[in-house]
Amino acid sequence: MDLCGGQPLRLSSPKFKTLYLVRHAQGIHNVVLEEKGKIDGIGDAHLSPRLLDAPLSPKGIQQVSEHRKQILESGLLNTIELVITSPLRRAMETAVGIFRGHKDINLSDNFPPIVALELCRERLGLYPCDRRENISTRRTCFQEIDFTMVRKRVMKMLYGDKRKGKT
């Protein structure tokens, strides 16, 4: 069995699950970095506070719509049992947009659950675009996502008390 070849490994046993990985669609931080390069008028564009927990760009929203259409047309949505996402806004917008989207008339709430996990983040810390908003804020905006596995303590652990203006 060649695991390095170009053919995907197909296992038919019910003990195996298929894992699909989807990276978030284009975020506004990607656009800013493409337009301004690495440095903007105030220094490193990555450090701009405007990019805190960066949302999707208009192009990113279009990418989500295209992926959703592909998944619906392929019938893949009916086979997915669980969606796991990073708690960053752009990742959650991508997950909800692709796997929930607008309620389709012929799909009758047959959507997989979506769970946020802190460990799914690609980076932690230094840049505002890689920091997330407070989970209580995100729970309000993303009611379709289960945040029970995201712990508030992670933010204190990552950023320390300085994040809230404490010494």
Number of structural domains in the chain: 1
User: Is residue 9 domain-resident?
Assistant: no
Q: Shortest CA distance to 102 belongs to which of 146, 69, 59? A: 69
Residue 14 is assigned to a structural domain of this protein: no
- Quick one: how many helices (H) and strands (E) in the chain? 5, 5
For position 9, what pLDDT does the model report?
A: 54
pLDDT values of the chain reduced to their tens digit, one per residue, 167 residues: 333 444 555 556 667 777 788 889 998 888 877 776 655 555 566 677 788 888 999 999 999 999 999 988 988 888 888 999 999 999 999 999 999 875 544 444 568 899 999 888 776 667 777 788 888 888 888 999 999 988 765 555 555 544 444 33
Q: Is residue 90 part of a domain?
A: yes
Q: Is residue 5 part of a domain?
A: no
Alpha helices in 2-124 (DSSP H): 28-36, 58-74, 89-99
Q: 43: domain range? A: 28-164
Rg (CA), the chain: 18
Neighbours of 116 (CB within 10 A): 25
Give the residue numbers annotated as catalytic, written as ranges: 24, 122
Q: Is residue 13 part of a domain?
A: no
Alpha carbons 112 and 99: distance in angstroms, whole number: 7
The reply to whether 124 falls in a domain is yes
Question: What was the pLDDT predicted at 98?
Answer: 93
Query: Tokens 């917008």 identify what position?
Result: 93
Letter string b/e over residues 93-107, b meaning 16 or more CB atoms within 10 A of that residue's CB:
bbbbbbbbbeeeeee
Q: Is residue 10 part of a domain?
A: no
**Residue 21 covered by a domain:** no
- Residue 57, classed as helix, strand or coil, is coil
